[in-house]
Amino acid sequence: MPSGFERGTDGPRVIVVGVDGSDTSWRAAAYAAGLARRQNALLAVVYVQPLLVGGAALGAPVAETTEQVAEELLAEIRETTERLRGVHEVRWQFHTFRGDPYTGLVETADELKADAVVVGASEQAGHRIVGSVAVRLVKAGRWPVTVVP
């Protein structure tokens, strides 16, 4: 008689965390890394490079700026990982896309068959009206979503 319990698979296998360089996203990344370490899960760190159409129209070097942010985030993540090597081992991947942060997180979570998504609370006042990425992820109802203040 087969049982419904799968040995060794209780808890998340893949945790997706969104980072954008804000304080709340770094707290979300730290929380997700701790969860991934404790659960021996893969941590997928996602940075979505925003498409700032208005800035591009004014001649601002938007692509170069967002590439630089992505590179700085990756360098900081790698530095932190190296500093903690041997103390806190975490398996991780870095993903970066251009476009809407919500769409990038959803696509990554779907592709990796994520068990959980972690994001920082929005620090932008306009999100109270339009809705933040975190609210949109929760409304999607496809994964447990943790919003870190």
Reading the chain (149 residues) residue by residue, the pLDDT tens digits are 455 545 555 677 999 999 888 888 889 998 999 999 899 999 999 988 877 655 444 555 556 666 777 777 778 777 766 665 665 678 888 888 888 899 999 999 999 999 999 999 887 654 444 458 888 998 988 899 999 98
Domain 15-147 bears CATH identifier 3.40.50.620: yes
Query: Is the model's pTM score more than 0.85?
Result: no
The CA distance from 142 to 116, in Å, is: 9
Reference 32, options 42, 47, 20, 22; nearest CA is 42
- Give the residue extent of every domain in the chain: 15-147
Tokens at 33, concatenated:
């890394």
The CA distance from 5 to 101, in Å, is: 35
